Amino acid sequence: MSDIIQLLPDHVANQIAAGEVVQRPASVVKELLENAIDAKATRIQLLVKDAGKTLVQVIDNGFGMSVTDARLSFERHATSKIASAEDLFQLNTKGFRGEALASIAAIAHVEMKTKREADELGTLLKIEGSEVTAQEPIVTPVGTSIAVKNLFFNIPARRNFLKSDQVEMRHVIDEFQRVALAHPSITFTLHHNGNTLFNLPNANYRQRIVGVLGSKANEKLVPVNEETEIVKISGFVLKPEFAKKSRGEQFIFVNDRYIKNSYLNHAITAAFEGLLRERTHPGYFLFLEVDPKTIDINIHPTKTEIKFDNEHDLYAIIKSTVKHSLGQFQIAPILDFQRDPNLDTPYSYQSKNIGTPTIEVDSNFNPFANEKPKGTSSSGNYGGSSYSKKSTEGWESLYVGLESKMTGNLEQSNIVEVESEEVTGSFFEDKEVTQNHITLQIQNKYIISKIKSGMMVINQGRAHERILFEEFLQHITINEAVSQQLLFPVTLSVSPQELSLLSTIREVLESTGFIFSKLEDETVEISGVPAAIGNQEVGIIISDLLTAVVNETEIENELHTHIVAKSLAKSLAIKSGKALSTAEQEDLVNRLFACKEPTISPTNKSVFITYNTTDFDKKLL
């Protein structure tokens, strides 16, 4: 029997490795940016076309490479960062596996231009599917420029799994922001299809965060600083009132490397206990510096997961540090049970001398000095005051017209009695009508309605969501939404990414009744809203809408209407706990069954369940 185990060809092995390293265009962005940082670049440009599917190009002014290094960099496991296994536990650089460029070159067309400062000419290298097609000397600036074109050109199946341009570009921006936040001393620029999305100059941590999130982010930041033998913590947390329903603004960096760690995330959230609204998450930008010997980075191909030797100690330190910062900057109350605030000296008296209080007594004071003496007289004086009896002449005039007034009052009282009888009659009629109602609300959450076969239990919140969802879809389709003009326009501050997203769905929002008078310079001014929205709800609804759009796994142009309608319906639907009158209950039931899909909510959850009378018979046997 012949042998069946064989070695894989190099191009197949590279494609398999690429599946671990390169999952989407954002993966290429991450690897190329980290290589530029390791080359000690001070200025890095990222150029993207079609969300990275057509082109991802990174241009830096770093050290550059020689002709030999340029060629070796595309070989598997070729790296300048490590020489022995012990070096894996002393890593201070980004890329060290030596897999990135080889994996990228196996599934794309790669063109690299590089030049060292000491060389007169640079090197041009072209690779297609791991095969070198050209290598020649060229004139190029000092540094390296790598252009990755037509990603997954030789693996159509992988290319088909890529999402829409908007989703892929969101992942590219996420990777760009993570690298840019960790290295504020480097100038970063991002261009997509010829448009400049980010231009981040050399700055400190606070300025870099403001550059990424927008100018309004500066007032949201609370500094965090602590240094211990285990870890040095610096960075910022966002004030609790700016917590969001998504986790988009949560960044933890360890030795200038972005990581994902749910355990440390929980430590930060625990420090905000009692300060956050329900179902919201805090925002933070924390930078940790630890000894490289105490962490293991080499446990995941993307190097975003790190194993700590002393994770429990880090948890306690981070939680205490964040809680201390919130208290120090008067975000959270500080409790000191040993101090009595009543004993604190007022600020205005702190510099005054303490004197002994004195008591002064007026010896000449007589409380009875001004009292008038009481006189006793039988001729009209009573208790010291004169009393004169009034004349009783003409007393008959007091009764003139009294009989007519009494008659009139009696007539009016008879009229009142007749009216009360009429009102009482209508009251009994109303009571008789209410006995014919066929709905009942239970625990201000469910509506029970009578049907021929038994009864139906309706979730009032999901039912209202379905009703509003179809109404908004209809408004968007026929563009006949009712809009109410605001007396004072509502102004919202958004990040550049949120502003770009709002610009994309602006037309759909205007079809639902929103009117935007300004949409630029990180500012959104809304002068009109749908009739069902109040002024105070505009900011929350727009924030929830952006969160819903960002969190969608698939965003296509034809689905924008569904995403907007679903988000608005969820925000405006009545919630559990709201009491409804009988008329409101019946109106909700009637409108629900006028919908096209009354059985499920916009989030694909059941709206109602039915019970047959036979079910009750079985239970009551």
Q: For residue 183, which of 396, 355, 359, 34 has the smallest C-alpha distance?
A: 34
Residue 398 identity (one-letter amino acid): L
The pLDDT tens digits for 170-211 are 889 999 999 999 999 999 999 999 888 899 999 999 999 998
Tell me the C-alpha to C-alpha distance, in Å, between residue 387 and each of 228, 377, 390: 93, 11, 10
Confidence (pLDDT) at 427 = 36
Calculated CA dihedral for residues 99, 100, 103, 109, nearest 10 degrees: -150
Quick one: which of 326, 127, 355 has its CA closest to 237? 326
Which pLDDT score, from 0 to 100, does residue 487 have? 82
Q: At what angle do helices 538-551 and 496-504 cross, to 10 degrees?
A: 90
User: Which pLDDT belongs to residue 267?
Assistant: 92
422-452 burial code (b ≥16 CB/10 A, e <16)? eeeeeeeeeeeeeeeeebebeeeebbbbeee
Q: For the chain, what is the mean pLDDT?
A: 80
d(CA 115, CA 596): 65
Query: What is the pLDDT, as a whole number, of residue 308?
Result: 82
Residues of the chain with pLDDT under 50: 376-386, 410, 413-435, 553-558
CB 50 within 8 A of CB 192: no
The whole-angstrom separation of Cα 409 and Cα 404 is 9
By the 8 A CB rule, do 110 and 127 touch? yes
* Beta strand spans in 61-186 (E): 109-115, 122-128, 131-138, 143-149
Domains of the chain: 10-200 (3.30.565.10), 205-328 (3.30.230.10), 449-609 (3.30.1370.100)
pLDDT of res. 402: 61
Answer whether 164's CB lies under 8 Å from 554's CB: yes
Query: What are the distances in angstroms from CA 243 to CA 2, 272, 279, 327?
Result: 65, 10, 9, 17
How far, in Å, CA of 1 to CA of 327, rounded? Answer: 75
CA–CA distance, 391 with 358 (Å, rounded to integer): 61
CB contact at 8 A, 200 and 180: yes
